[in-house]
Amino acid sequence: MFEPDVYIKRREQLIKSMSGGLVLLVGNSESPMNYLDNTYPFRQDSTFLYYTGISRPDLFLIIDIESHHTALVGHELTIDDIIWSGSQPDLVNLGELCGADQVLSSSELTTELEKARSQKRTIHYLSPYRAETKNRLEKLLGLSVEQHSKDNSFELASAVITQRSVKEPREVNEIEMALGITQLMILAGMKSVQPGKYEREIAGLVEGIAISGGGRLAYPCILTKHGEVLHNHQYHRRLDQGDLVVQDSGASSIHGYASDITRTYPVNGIFSSCQATIYLAVLRSLEGALSTIRPESSFKESHLAAARIITDHLQQIGIMQGDIDESVAVGAHALFFPHGLGHMMGLDVHDMENLGEDFVGYNDQVHRSQQFGLKSLRFGRAPSQGYVLTVEPGCYFITPLIDQWKNEKRHESFIRYDMLSRWENFGGIRIEENILVTSDGCKILGPPIPKNIPDVENACRG
Ligand code: GLY
Ligand code: MN
Ligand code: MN
């Protein structure tokens, strides 16, 4: 945890941005995997973590916007808790650690909420994303799931998003620590890859490094020779000469901050000329996009800039044609680059998306497009100084998608379907960096991780 003052100040800032009422934050509980006592690793709700720093199940926080009073709610440790989970700070200690004014039991919370409701005070809560939280809200507020899914507080979500979007220096520092671990994860992948190895051998090594770093993976690692399957979480394939590995992996820091890095590398340590051509298209697209990112410039424009560069390179190898701006405007490039340029990152790898993806990524100035490809851009609005984002262009040859578009003759004035057969089993390439938006541009966070072709090839040769 950070010092209590950090959490007190964060709550004070939240209080200032709200009009009144009570804020109720519901912490996460354990989540059973296959029976009650065999649980997924515990992950605290990120907003609860942001305002308290406490990573323990079954807690609530209430913040009174009028009196500025904060109470941490939970149960006292029982001897059973201590026997099975060891000695740990009790509720009063936890209250002190997060700078709360008071601690309350669950039954006292019920009384407080009943009192607030009888006084017709607004109780603000965030939209729940876990069934356990939905049940708790149903019990505490006497609202059906349908009602509380509708009545969650727009005002609170908006205040939280505004506050959590701008990272404090200590948060950037945490992200950089997570990136330090991720550098080791990627280098380990590059150093250990060789023909005959199985994806699972490298995936296991990578996950072990995340645990050795003191946290865990920030999300399930992608480590595959089928990088064209965008969220491929299988690791059972053997790596052979000529294959490319897409490794998309991130660690979480001890305080729960994420990193999210992708590199693509050749199994035999040397890119073929076809692989190098597509790799350079993606690398130049990443560099081009980075040069456009600055406060007040929409991320959607950066996405489109990345798409134009990829289109230009695909034209040079003869698989696309026509006017580049028109081609990007109709979305022809999305056959090869069907996802978004990036997303916000912080305590969550896709930061705050539980509060509403559009709510985080779009506003009155920039609306989400419905066009194939662009619709998958998770963050489109202009960032401000202090935002942390990922930038992750990619180029993929997805056979079922190519077949579908070819049959439909979709965008055939821009796509040379007759030239695509030799690329059929290419797979995919993605390169991903994490950036901090500065006053006049952006900077790549974390230690350098091989990205230029000679550096990647050197790392792969150990
Ligand atoms: N690691 C998932 C993503 O890049 O969004
Ligand atoms: Mn990623
Ligand atoms: Mn990402």
Digit-coded pLDDT (tens) for 42-95: 999 999 999 999 999 999 999 999 999 999 999 989 999 999 989 999 999 999
- Tens-digit pLDDT profile for residues 355-368: 999 999 999 999 99
Check residue 424 and give its pLDDT.
87
> For residue 350, which atom of ligand 1 is closest to its CA?
5
Q: Give 262-311 pLDDT, tens digit per residue.
A: 999 999 999 999 999 999 999 999 999 999 999 999 999 999 999 999 99
pLDDT at 132 over 80: yes
Residue 145 has pLDDT above 80, yes or no: no
Q: pLDDT of 180-233, one tens digit each?
A: 999 999 999 999 999 999 999 999 999 999 999 999 999 999 999 999 999 989
Lowest model confidence (mean pLDDT) among 9-23, 136-150, 311-325, 363-377: 136-150
pLDDT for 461 equals 86
Ligand 1 atom closest to the Cα of residue 250 is 1
The answer, yes or no, to whether residue 149 has pLDDT greater than 90, is no
Question: What distance in angstroms lies between residue 260's CA and the mean position of ligand 1's atoms?
Answer: 6
Instruction: Report the chain's mean pLDDT, rounded to a whole number.
Output: 96
CA of 249 to the centre of ligand 2 (A): 6
> Ligand 1: which of 186, 432, 433, 434 to mutate, most ligand atoms within 8 Å of CB?
432
Q: What are phi and psi of 245, to 5 degrees?
A: -110, 130
Ligand 1 pocket test, pick from 350, 376, 391, 431 with the greatest ligand atom count within 8 Å of Cβ, gives: 350
- Write out the chain in H/E/C secondary structure: CCCHHHHHHHHHHHHHCCCCCEEEEECCCCCEEEECCEECCCCCCHHHHHHHCCCCCCCEEEEECCCCCEEEECCCCCHHHHHHHCCCCCHHHHHHHCCCCEEECHHHHHHHHHHHHHCCCCEECCCCCCHHHHHHHHHHHCCCHHHHHHHCCHHHHHHHHHHHHCCCHHHHHHHHHHHHHHHHHHHHHHHHCCCCCEHHHHHHHHHHHHHHCCCCECCCCEEECCCCCCCCCCCCCECCCCCEEEEEECEECCCCCECCEEEEEECCCCCCHHHHHHHHHHHHHHHHHHHHCCCCCCHHHHHHHHHHHHHHHHHHCCCECCCHHHHHHHCHHHHCCCCCCCCECCCCCCCCHHHCHHHHHCCCCCCCCCCCCHHHCCCCCCCCCCCEEEECCEEECCHHHHHHHHHHCCCCCCECHHHCHHHCCCCEEECEEEEEECCCCEEECCCCCCCCHHHHHHHHCC
Distance 349 CA to ligand 2 centre (A): 8
Taking the centre of ligand 1 as the mean of its atom positions, its distance from the CA of residue 330, in whole angstroms, is 25
Question: What is the predicted pLDDT for the residue at 462?
Answer: 72
∠ Cα 67 73 75 (to 5°): 155
Phi/psi for 303 (5° steps) reads -60, -45
Gyration radius of the chain's alpha carbons: 24
Ligand 2 ion local residues (Cβ < 5 A) = 248, 260, 262, 432
Condensed to tens digits (0 to 9), the pLDDT of residues 380-417 reads 999 999 999 999 999 999 999 999 999 999 999 999 99
Query: Does 144 have pLDDT greater than 90?
Result: no
Q: Does residue 183 contact residue 447 with C-beta atoms inside 8 Å? A: yes
Share of the chain above pLDDT 90, in %: 95
Residue 127, pLDDT > 80, answer yes
Q: Please state the rounded mean pLDDT for residues 132-158.
A: 87
**CA geometry: angle at 246 spanning 361 and 408, to 5°?**
70
Cα of 247 vs centre of ligand 2, distance in Å, is: 8
Ligand nearest to the CA of 263: 2
**Which pLDDT tens digit goes with each residue over 46-61?**
999 999 999 999 999 9
Around ligand 1, the residues with Cβ closer than 6 Å are 219, 248, 260, 343, 349, 392, 432
Using the mean position of ligand 1's atoms as its centre, give its distance from the Cα of residue 285 in Å. 17
Distance CA 73, CA 142 (A): 18
